[in-house]
Amino acid sequence: MTKPTLGSHPYLLGFEQLERMLERSAKSGNEGYPPFNIEQTSPNSYRITLAVAGFAEDDLAITVEDRQLVIRGRQSEADEGRVFLHRGIAARQFQRSFVLADGVEVGEAVMENGLLHVDLRRIEPEPVVQRITINKG
C-alpha cells in the first residue's frame, strides 16, 4: 500500500513543492534552543524573536536558502586564559530554520536587549486573469 500524497490527487496539480516543504519543515525539528516567539504584527507582517543573550551581532548569521529562513549563532572562543569556578551560561552554537511561504520576504533584523527580531512581510501578488485561445486542430 502506498502513502497518498498531494501530488497524486487529480485536482491538485503542481503541489509537489508544498509537499516537499511540509516534509522539510517536519525534519527541521529543532531541540528548543534558543527559545523564540512568532507574532503577527499586522495582517501582512510577522516578527520572529529569538532569545540570543550572550551573542553579539557578529556571532549571528541570517540567510534565506531555498525559501527557508536560517538563523545561525556561533560565539567566538574568548575563554582562553579564563578560569571558571562555575559555568552555567551555555556558549553553544545553534541553527534555527523557518520555512517561508511564497510571497513572504525577510525585512530587517534588529538586536535589542539580548533579543534578535526578524521582520517578515507578505507581498500580495496582483490577481492575473489569463485568457487561453483555443487553436483549431
Which carries the bigger pLDDT value, residue 52 or residue 91?
A: 52
Average pLDDT value for the chain: 85
pLDDT in tens, 34-83: 999 999 999 999 999 999 988 999 999 999 998 899 999 998 776 678 88
Domain boundaries, the chain: 32-77+88-122
Of 5-9, 47-51, 58-62, 90-94, which gets the smallest average pLDDT? Answer: 5-9
102: pLDDT confidence band, cut at 50, 70 and 90? confident
Q: Are strands 60-64 and 104-112 parallel, antiparallel or unpaired?
A: unpaired
Q: What is the mean pLDDT of residues 107-131?
A: 94
Residue range 32-77+88-122 in CATH 2.60.40.790 = yes
Window from 18-22, 85-89, 106-110 with minimum mean pLDDT: 18-22
Distance from C-alpha of 49 to C-alpha of 115, rounded to nearest angstrom: 6
Q: pLDDT tens for residues 17-46?
A: 767 766 766 665 556 889 999 999 999 999
The answer, yes or no, to whether residue 15 has pLDDT greater than 80, is no
Name residue 39's beta-bridge partners: 47
pTM: 0.72
Gyration radius of the chain over CA positions:
21
Give the whole-number percent of the chain exceeding pLDDT 90.
53
Cα 72-84-81 angle, rounded to 5 deg: 80
Residue 1 has pLDDT above 60, yes or no: no
Q: Under a CB-based contact definition with an 8 Å cutoff, are residues 25 and 17 in contact?
A: no
Strand partners, 95: 72
